[in-house]
């Protein structure tokens, strides 16, 4: 097929067509099918790289186009390696009793009444990659309410706000690296990444280690959520085993009789390499 | 050895959870050594990023890297925030960008041994946070800066804007892309 048949040439004697006054073009909203195909392709590329000998990725690549907001918000230059044992980043901020009140870990007691929804306990241990507990460090959480609505002005989707639920909590880890929150199970909610896009229910976590390099912000998911395969944010983690580490497990022993259902989620922070010899190297 | 928990984006809704009063003002009140550092976070199209969150970590002026609690002092009476105590330097700051993508930090200048502010950047659309550094002045020798070509090095140097005021833009992508760091975690 010649190009001419695709792009008809106007004869020079024809008058130019007047420019039609059309409304501004609407951005093309991808379908779930298109996004899912992009996710599958990205996962296949990641699996091929591992087969070819690359180390499996623990973290999502920053350029994961199925999550459209990432396209203009990731660097194209490679990161610059810092190997300075005196780097300030190998130390980090500390927090203490001044920074947390006892009630902060119970998200169901921040208002006069009880929030609506399924009351849950979320608990686990935070360790570094050597299995050492992260002690006395700040854990922060935030989440949507049971209807899937955030107490945030920018979230205007038509689900009710709950006057008895804000969805913010924090605590300090104990001597074993343990944390524990009482909250309600958040709802799934729609977003505008693509047509009919829904986020699986999740709780946002923010974590500190002993070094600034161990900083982690992530999301905890609930087991068995049927929305997992459709979600480009969870699926941005291309390694299946790594994705599973974002999903809590139901723990019946953690459920409180006639009170709350228990979910356990353990968290492992990165290195840091400067204080952690990697046992997989040089032995 | 356990594998690390993967990162996920901070998303668009952290604003009622993570920022705290005086988060961008770790300098103790009326401290004569306080400096102001400010700038804009931009995406690959040069558009300001209104939903980024910047965290800063640095040594105290005496060189100590131990930090101090009290960045987000809580009020056990009301459940609100008390603000910083006005005396101790915690070494930690947290600032969300405003609707223009702009942020402002009021801190103490870092010591000569670690002459930079460490930055950890989060944003909607960013899957995994990014580290960079702000150097308020070009140090005589610095392992990181000395290894960079001049145009890349310049992205880590704040511009002076008069006494005690510095300007530092962060470009997530593009021709002026900021140098971001990897600590071999």
Mean pLDDT of the region B69-75: 97
Active site residue A221: no
Using one digit for the tens of pLDDT, what is the confidence trace for A21-44?
666 767 789 999 999 999 999 999
State the best of B3, B8, B92, B147 to mutate against chain A, taking most chain A CBs within 10 Å. B8
* Catalytic one of A67, A170, A179, A189: A189
Res. B86: pLDDT tops 50: yes
Mean pLDDT of the region B5-31: 96
What average pLDDT does the structure give for chain A? Answer: 90
Tokens matching residue A255: 């459920």
Give residue A19's pLDDT band: very low, low, confident or very high (50, 70, 90).
low
pLDDT at residue number A44? 98
Collect all residues with Cβ–Cβ distance below 8 Å to B82 and sequence separation of at least 6.
B73, B74, B75
Judged by DSSP in three states, A232 sits in coil
CA distance linking residue B8 with residue B126, whole number of Å? 8
pLDDT at residue number A154? 85
Res. A280: pLDDT tops 50: no
* Contact of B178 with B172, CB cutoff 8 Å: yes
Give residue A244's pLDDT band: very low, low, confident or very high (50, 70, 90).
very high
CA distance linking residue A166 with residue A144, whole number of Å? 8
pLDDT at residue number A5? 40
Domain spans in chain A, listed from the N-terminal domain onward: 93-268
pLDDT at residue number A21? 67
Distance (Å) from the alpha carbon of A190 to chain B's nearest alpha carbon: 13
**How is domain B14-171 classified at the CATH fold level?**
Protocatechuate 3,4-Dioxygenase, subunit A (2.60.130)
DSSP string, B35-76: EEEEEEEE-TTS-B-TTEEEEEE---TTS-----S-TT-B-T
Res. A276: pLDDT tops 90: no
A93-268 belongs to CATH 3.10.105.10? no
Give residue A17's pLDDT band: very low, low, confident or very high (50, 70, 90).
low
pTM of the model: 0.92
Give residue A271's pLDDT band: very low, low, confident or very high (50, 70, 90).
confident
Of A98, A237, A245, the CB nearest to B73: A98
CB–CB of A77 and B177 under 8 A? Answer: yes
pLDDT at residue number A274? 44
pLDDT at residue number A18? 55
CB–CB of A218 and B5 under 8 A? Answer: yes
Residue A29, chain B, CB below 8 Å: the answer is no
Residue A112, chain B, CB below 8 Å: the answer is no
Measured between beta carbons, the chain B residues lying within 8 angstroms of A67 are 9, 125, 127
Of B3, B110, B131, the CB nearest to A245: B3
Domain spans in chain B, listed from the N-terminal domain onward: 14-171
CA distance linking residue A240 with residue A222, whole number of Å? 16
Work out how many CB contacts closer than 8 A connect A with B: 260
Using one digit for the tens of pLDDT, what is the confidence trace for A92-127?
999 999 999 999 999 999 999 999 999 999 999 999
Residue A136, chain B, CB below 8 Å: the answer is no
* Alpha-carbon distances, residue A132 vs A95, A129, B50 (angstroms): 19, 7, 37
Distance (Å) from the alpha carbon of A41 to chain B's nearest alpha carbon: 18
Res. A282: pLDDT tops 70: no
Using one digit for the tens of pLDDT, what is the confidence trace for B88-122?
999 999 999 999 999 999 999 999 999 999 999 99
Res. A58: pLDDT tops 90: yes
Looking at per-residue confidence, does B3 or A155 come out higher?
Answer: B3
Distance (Å) from the alpha carbon of A76 to chain B's nearest alpha carbon: 6
Mean pLDDT of the region A202-222: 97
């Amino acid at each position: 097929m010649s190009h001419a048949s695709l792009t008809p040439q106007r004869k020079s004697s024809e008058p130019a067509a007047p420019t039609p006054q059309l409304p501004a073009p609407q951005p093309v909203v991808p379908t779930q099918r298109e996004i899912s195909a992009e996710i599958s392709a990205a996962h296949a590329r990641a699996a091929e790289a591992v087969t070819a000998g690359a180390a499996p990725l623990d973290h999502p690549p920053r350029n994961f186009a199925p999550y459209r907001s990432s396209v203009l918000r990731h660097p194209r230059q490679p990161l610059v390696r810092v190997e300075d044992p005196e780097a300030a980043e190998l130390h980090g901020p500390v927090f203490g009793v001044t920074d947390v009140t006892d009630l902060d870990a119970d998200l169901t007691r921040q208002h006069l009444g009880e929030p609506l929804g399924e009351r849950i306990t979320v608990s686990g241990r935070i360790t570094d990659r050597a299995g050492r507990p992260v002690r006395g460090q700040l854990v922060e959480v935030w989440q949507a309410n049971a209807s899937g609505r955030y107490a945030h002005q920018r979230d205007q989707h038509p689900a009710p706000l709950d006057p008895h639920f804000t969805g913010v909590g924090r605590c300090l880890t104990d001597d074993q690296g343990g944390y524990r929150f009482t909250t309600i199970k958040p709802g799934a909610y729609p977003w505008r990444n693509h047509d009919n896009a829904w986020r699986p229910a999740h709780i946002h976590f923010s974590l500190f280690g002993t070094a600034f390099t161990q900083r982690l912000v992530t999301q905890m998911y609930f087991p068995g959520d049927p929305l997992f395969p459709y979600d480009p944010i969870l699926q941005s983690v291309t390694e299946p085993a790594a994705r599973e580490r974002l999903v809590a497990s139901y723990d019946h022993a953690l459920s409180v009789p006639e009170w709350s259902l228990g979910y356990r989620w353990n968290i492992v922070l990165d290195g840091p390499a400067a204080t952690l010899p990697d046992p997989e190297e040089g032995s | 050895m356990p594998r690390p928990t993967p990162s996920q984006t901070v998303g668009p809704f952290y604003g009622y959870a993570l920022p705290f009063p005086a988060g961008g003002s770790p300098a103790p009140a009326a401290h004569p050594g306080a400096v102001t550092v400010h700038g804009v976070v931009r995406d690959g199209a040069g558009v300001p990023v209104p939903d980024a969150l910047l965290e800063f970590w640095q040594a105290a002026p005496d060189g100590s890297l131990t930090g101090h609690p009290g960045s987000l002092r809580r009020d056990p009476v009301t459940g609100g925030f008390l603000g910083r105590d006005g005396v101790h330097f915690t070494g930690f700051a947290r600032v969300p960008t405003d609707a223009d993508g702009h942020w402002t930090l009021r801190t103490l200048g870092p010591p000569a041994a670690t002459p930079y502010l460490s930055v950890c950047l989060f944003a909607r659309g960013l899957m995994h946070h990014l580290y960079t550094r702000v150097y308020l002045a070009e140090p005589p020798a610095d392992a990181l800066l000395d290894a960079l070509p001049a145009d890349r090095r310049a992205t880590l140097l704040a511009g002076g804007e008069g006494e005690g005021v510095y300007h530092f833009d962060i470009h997530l992508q593009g021709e002026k892309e900021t140098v971001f760091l990897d600590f071999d975690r």
